[in-house]
Structures are given as C-alpha cells and as structure tokens.
Structure 1
Amino acid sequence: MKYKKILTDSKGLTLVEVLVSLTILGIVLMGTMKFFSQAYTYTNMNEKKTAAVNVARNALMHIEKENFIEVRERFRNNKNETLSLQICNSAYKLFWSDASYDIECSPIIVNNIEYNVTINLLKSEDENVNLADGEHSSFFVPLEACVSWEINGKEEISTIEGEIKSEDLR
C-alpha cells in the first residue's frame, strides 16, 4: 500500500533527489566514455601498425625486383649491411648503409605519419638459412623489414620477415 501511495503522489521530486540522480548518471556516463576513449586510442594505434606492416611488405616486394645476385652478395660480404627505402621523385629508391640520401628523397608518408624503413639480413639461429653455404642460400635471401614511426614522442616499431628468391626460381 505504501509503494502505491509513493507512485501516485503528485508532489514531484525534490531538488536533492534530482541532484543525486544526476550524480549517479554522471558517474555511469563517465565510465562509459572512458571505455570509448580507450577503444578509440587502441583502434588508432592498430591503424598505424597496419599501415607500417603494409609499408614493410611493399619494401620486401620492391627489393625482390632488384638484382638478386647483387643483393645476395652484398649481404654475404657483410651480414650487418642494411638497406633503407625512401621515396625519391614519387618512386621507391633503395640506399645501402654506405650511401647518402638524395636531397629530394623523404621517408614514406602514410596518413601524415613518416615511416622509416630498413631492411636487414634475418638473424636466425637455423643453420639452414645461413648465407655462407648450402643450396638453400643460393636461391633465397632471408630478410627482415623494420618500419619505425614516432607518435607523441614515442617511437614505435613493426617488423616482418620474408625472403627474396632468385630469378631462376621465378
């Protein structure tokens, strides 16, 4: 009986009741908004990582078009050799570690983020992938493409592994 009287009472709500309900609603909404903010940050970072992986794949595809024997011999002679990929005159250009960049060259830019690409010989403990000897090393060069970019003063890195193969196998 008492509950029916409260629901049918026409006096209305007091200011205290309205403030308490708004406070509770505000706390619930703040928690919900924090969730959406974190989800946006996570999605934004994954978008940049996806772009970096695609840049690395493009770098490996580009180096596969280069002279296989020259690339293989360069890495055989110096296992710490690195390649950098830059955009020069709207086209990709590879630079070995001992070469200097052209003035008109710049890092790869996707969605206003600069991605720096370096390609190294894959450091593997598997002796079948050793470039020094073996039949496998005559036709394949295992490489690692590292893409780095900076967001809010923090450097991020994505790496993919792949190998280029000799024209004899293509």
Structure 2
Amino acid sequence: MNKLLILTMLIAGFAHADDSEQRAIHIYKDNNGSVLLTAREASDSNLTHVKSTYYPMESSVWHISCSKDKFNGSKKCSLYKNYSDFMVNYINGRLSVYVGRNHFPETQSAIKIDGNQAIYGHEGMSQTPQKVIEQMKKDKVVYTRYKEWPYKYNKDGETDLTGFAEKYDEMLEEYKKL
C-alpha cells in the first residue's frame, strides 16, 4: 500500500473537525516537493493544494449498547452519539435520560428539544424521561446544559436528532432480546 495513503489514513483517525459533520485531510506540496498532510486548510502561499479527502465523523452515528448481568440478570441498553452530552438508558424496564458527565455537585441540568420548553433535572438526571423521549422522536435538535466539575459555569451542547426515533425503537427491541 502507498506510504502516503497509509499516513493519510492514520492522520484521518486523529484529525478532529470543528463543528462540521466530517473530518478532512488536506494534502499540500511545497516548492521542494515535500508533502504536508494537515487537518486544517493551509494559508501559506508557498504551498500548493494537491487534494482534500473528507471522512464522515463517528459523531453522526447513533450507537446502541446492551448488556445482561450474568450474576443477577439485570438488563441495560443505552443509546448515544459520540461527542454528545446526553444518553438514553433503559435499565431493568425503567427509562432514563442523562445529560452531561462529571457534574458539579448540587447543580441543575437541562435539555431542550427544538423550540419546546426546557426540561430540567438534577445533576444530569431528567425527572420526566418519557416526555423528553417523545419530543426527541418528533423533533430535529436537542440542546443540553449542565455544569461540569470543577467549574461552575454552563457547558452547552447541541446534537442532531436525525435517525433517533428509529434507533430508539431498535434499542427497545434489543432490550427485549436480552
């Protein structure tokens, strides 16, 4: 396999996009023929753009993770997107929606779906998970807010809900099979 292609593939695994839905590897050559691979577009006039390759980000995919405890038989399924600030869980027949991680103690968290009214929780736990899920199944974007330790300022997130309703139903089916 071509060394440049291998190096491009390796760098693609480490390159992070800003807020777009894909990663990019940009290939440039300098006047001496040396090759530069970068995750950002270069503005150096001594470099000639050769090619840009775009890779979809893992964050645009919904993931389902299910397990059954071998000792006590408890069952759990989770639905999430990488790099998002919320997770839906179905644990022993009970639904939960969790916002954020590593919460600052005794702080409020919130989730807002499209233009609906914000739904508040305590340290990431929604008190009305079914209401949250019903809104998420119909709408397009979820906004999250919580305070992460050790800072006491708002950490906001935004996640596209495309495909959520289908994956949520799939998660419930996987749970039934456990």
User: Shorter-chain-normalised TM-score: which range?
Assistant: under 0.3
Higher helix share: 1
TM-score, normalization: structure 2?
0.26
Q: TM-score scaled by structure 1?
A: 0.27
- Say which structure is richer in strand: 2
- Choose between structure 1 and 2 for higher RCO, CA contacts under 8 A separated by at least 6 residues: 1
Greater C-alpha Rg:
1
